[in-house]
Amino acid sequence: MQVKIKRIDKNLPLPIYETNGSVGFDFLAREDTVIKPKEIKLIPGNLIIETPEGYMLMVASRSSTPRKKGLSLPHGVGIIDIDYCGEEDEVLIQVFNFTDEEVKISRGEKIAQGVFVRVDKAQWLEVDKMKDESRGGFGGTDKKEVFHA
């Protein structure tokens, strides 16, 4: 799949898939950034990406970032739509510093990962009644008897 991409700072490399088994590529910080304790901040990811039709670009935390840096994505994952690809639409990585210390991110440091995910759009079929059997609401599977084979 070919994807159009623009780097804001061409001195930083294009993203790569680090191994043959990698499904995600890393976003690099475009500038030095300091995140104060308990602060949410946007870190410029240096890339404008034209996500292909039928896909979304999911931005997720790198698995080591919470442990090594004390940062997490406050919304779990970021979703980049196919129409977020104009000249001013740099991917920004939203991070939350959950520590009691300032966290410093250096220019060029890996800050998140991107994964292209195939998506479909639903065509709604409104009904007056749903299935007769219910799971029991939020957390309902915790309340049911577990079947063991």
Structural domains in the chain? 4-122 (2.70.40.10)
Answer whether residue 138 shows pLDDT above 80.
no
pTM (2 d.p.): 0.83
Amino acid at 16: I
> pLDDT value at position 131?
82
Q: Say what the alpha-carbon torsion angle 8, 117, 65, 100 is, to the nearest 10 degrees.
A: 90
Contact 8, 30 (CB under 8 A): yes
Residue in this structure with the two tokens 């994807």, named with its chain if needed: 3
> pLDDT value at position 24?
96
Angstrom CA distances, 29 to 14, 92, 142, stand at 12, 9, 41
Structure tokens at 58: 């999911």
